[in-house]
Structure 1
Amino acid sequence: MNKKYLPSALILYLNYFIHGVGCSILGQAVIKEALAASWGVQVMAITAISAALGLGRLIALPFAGPLSDKLGRRISTAIGSGSYAIYLIGLALAFNAGTHGGYQIAYICAIIGGIANSFLDTGIYPAVSEIIYKAPGVATMGIKFFIAIAQMLLPFVLGMTVATTAAGLTSYNTLFFGCGIIYIVLLVLVMIFPLPDSDAKAEGKKEGLIASLKHTHFSVESIAMIIIGFTCTGTFQLWLNCAQNFAKENVGWADPSVMQSYYSAGTMIALIVTALLTRKIKDVRFILVYPVICLATMVVVLVGQTKPLMIAGAFIIGWAGAGGLLQIVTSVCNMLFPKIKGTVTALVMIASSLCNYTILTAASKMQPSQVMVMNIVLTAIGVVLGLFVNLRYTKMVELSKED
């Protein structure tokens, strides 16, 4: 890595550190209760605001990737930072608006927040891969690491930023305003510091997006890679959202909340260990091995149905399912399509976003045991796709070189 890009990499990662807070705040019970009280709605109604984030991602991803490839990582990241500032500061303004349109303002801001996430993904994922070009898998897993650290610290930050308004309402506006202002600062910094693709443009004209797409072969193997973005997301999202319900209803565990701690611990440790392993093992191998581990774990949990197995399962799924697998898939796709990294990143993230919406919607209408079975089937499909990609990986590399 060129040392002149080190400050730039830190700035890019800090965007995701704050994103770790931004994408989690609406899932916190205390914040849901505070917003619901201000807007005069039921607590569960806040879930619709969270869903708007996914809607924003799906709206922006189809054009965020091409714009990143055409205009550069700097512009894409700047749009993402600015939009995220609007989302976070908008939540504070929506809270202040109360029953006078506050809920509607928050919904619109959440859509903008989802759009922001898309531009950050298609700008920063390729950018860090270009900066840490000798270890792109490590570079993209670093994104997940910064998100995980922020999410781990969030409960402590909530306690520091809580306040009471003159009307007696609980408010977290300090957190919303603070994170929004930080994003504005990051926007300014990302426009100042150098990025590899900007330097490349200065040295010579880069092939246009349309031309590069014409010369790109979207083979069956590459389509399989993009679909894995769907299956691997389903693995950890279904576990994260439904495994505790399975523990309650099928295992008889009254309070399985401790599973979240083991899940997070598995994710954090995996990011470090996997980053070290990718130095000696090809990134593509993890696309097969980790889903196999997840599949075996869920089958054992479904059959065994005991507290120790649930705890072990939470740790293992946190490791093999959420510990950077999606980031590795994105990294491998970027290596196979070096000329349109932003577009390929968008395709993987579109698959991931579609999974979040469709699979979780389906799970909401099923029993916990049925959800576990669905997760096993979905993960098994990911294993088959991972095996196919590994068997055809050499051919895929040859095609990318021809491009």
Structure 2
Amino acid sequence: MMSAKKRNYMSTAIAVYLSFLLCGIDMSITAQYKTQLAQAWGQGNNIAAVLTVNSAVGIGGIVASFFTGIISDHFGRKSSAIISSFLWAAFAFGMLYAPNVSVAYFAGILGGIANSFTNAAWTPSMMDAYPDKRSLMTLLTKFFVSLGQFILPFIIVALAASHISFAVAFNLLGLIYVVIGILCFFLPFPKVGGDQVQNSNDNKTEKKSAKGKIKITSETIALALMGFSSTAVFMIWTQTNQELGKLYGLSNPALLQSIYAVTSLISVLVTSWMVTKGLRESTVLIVYPAVAGVALLLAYFIHNGTLLFLVAALMGWFAAGGLMQLAVSLLSGLYPDYKATATSAIGLANGISNWGVIQIAALITANGGINAPREILLFNFAICIIGIVLALVVRHNQNKRAKAGIETLEK
């Protein structure tokens, strides 16, 4: 009988990264069709209704983070992958066919739960299937999410040029997710913790008795908190760079976002390659936010529109280069039997970040007047410093564990 360790998971990997590509589209598509969705929900041109529904996605994600990881670790990746696929389908169809805002809001909550199940199912399944390439597998999830966000505008232009209704995009999303959900019943998924464990009844008993005995340290707390710092920096930048560009006299500030998107895609690929060649993840977690912080200070002190194009490129590379995914990889490596729970812990911090920092940025905007975009740069710089401090804590603990010969924090 062939060893489970040698099982081929290529078909599952294709489904995983297709799902994350679609996830990137899901995260942006409602913002691209705000007017059409508002009209479909009987709100006329009131796009504020769509923004309210988008906030429901964040709420659903925060709530789901408390249980999706536990479900995935306890019942396996397959069941969570199936749930995530069908919930994403419900989100796509719900957005399109909701008769009113209340139903759309509920669909938004389902989308947030779907996203949490996606992170708890797909990412750990790849780490379990390819334990020697854990960081590469998680970085690729970031690449495909970014790729989905990058290609969506081209899809929208193509649909508009062909005079095809926006409904086609939502219907296709929903149908593809239904197909993925059905395929999940037949796709091979690795055991929780990896196929290299639990090979005999004795091992199963030993593993089962070990479950639940974990150690929490300053390193694991720092990694979990990186769910906040690692995404807040680039999210604030993407939400506010247009206003900064206008303040600095750019005639077409939308180009900043295009430069940012391209460099972020390249960064994930290059960072993945460097990690596979031996670059320590903790080094990336220290250096990248440091460079992003310098870029933000340049934008603050040098009032020059042309310089912002360089800053946008630096932010794409060093702020959106897969930092959260590297934190997920490191934390999951410390808890091999609880990868999904570890992922959800970072996802919870990420969800709080997505909601909280935008509220603070909005407060600065409301009180900062014309100079608010520059003040937001300083706020963003402070978050970079927090990220660096957290990464230094991780690096210090890594070195201590290496000296003590400790690889995991499960007993």
Q: Mark yes or no: TM-score above 0.5.
A: yes
Q: Greater CA deviation, 372-381 or 127-136?
A: 127-136
The corresponding residue for 2:367 is: none
- The CA deviation at 1:382 is 0.9
In 1, are the aligned partners of 2:214 and 2:409 still within 8 Å (CA)?
A: no
- The CA deviation at 1:132 is 2.3
- The CA deviation at 1:259 is 0.3
Tell me the distance in 2 between the aligned counterparts of 1:201 and 1:117.
29
- The TM-score normalised by the length of structure 1 is 0.91
Aligned residue type for 1:266:
T
Uncovered stretches (5+) of structure 2, i.e. residues with no partner: 365-371
Change (3 A) 1:176 1:357: same
- The CA deviation at 1:341 is 0.6
Aligned residue type for 1:265:
V
The corresponding residue for 2:332 is: 334
The corresponding residue for 2:369 is: none
Task: Describe the superposition over 1:130-173 as per-residue Cα deviations: whole angstroms up to 9, x where unpaired.
Answer: 222212111011111111222222122223445999xxxx9411
Tell me the distance in 1 between the aligned counterparts of 2:351 and 2:388.
20
Uncovered stretches (5+) of structure 1, i.e. residues with no partner: none
| Percent of aligned pairs sharing the same letter | 28
The answer to whether residue 191 in structure 2 is matched with residue 197 in structure 1 is yes
Aligned residue type for 2:18:
L
- Aligned residue for 2:216, secondary structure, equals coil
Q: Give the 5 Å matches for 1:1-400.
A: 2=6, 4-28=8-32, 31-38=33-40, 39-41=42-44, 42-94=46-98, 97=99, 102-162=100-160, 171-197=165-191, 205=204, 212-213=211-212, 215-249=213-247, 251-279=248-276, 280-366=278-364, 367-396=372-401, 398=406, 400=408
Tell me the distance in 2 between the aligned counterparts of 1:253 and 1:2.
55
Aligned residue type for 2:313:
F
- Aligned residue for 2:131, secondary structure, equals coil
Aligned residue type for 1:230:
F
Tell me the number of residue pairs that the alignment of Structure 1 and Structure 2 aligns: 389
- Aligned residue for 2:185, secondary structure, equals helix
In 2, are the aligned partners of 1:70 and 1:208 still within 8 Å (CA)?
A: no
Aligned residue type for 1:81:
S
- The TM-score normalised by the length of structure 2 is 0.89
- Aligned residue for 2:283, secondary structure, equals helix
Task: Describe the superposition over 1:165-218 as per-residue Cα deviations: whole angstroms up to 9, x where unpaired.
Answer: 9xxxx94111111110100110111221111116667865477889633x2111
- The CA deviation at 1:243 is 1.9
Change (3 A) 1:163 1:79: farther
Tell me the distance in 1 between the aligned counterparts of 2:78 and 2:169.
26
- The CA deviation at 1:17 is 1.3
In 2, are the aligned partners of 1:295 and 1:376 still within 8 Å (CA)?
A: yes
- The CA deviation at 1:381 is 1.1
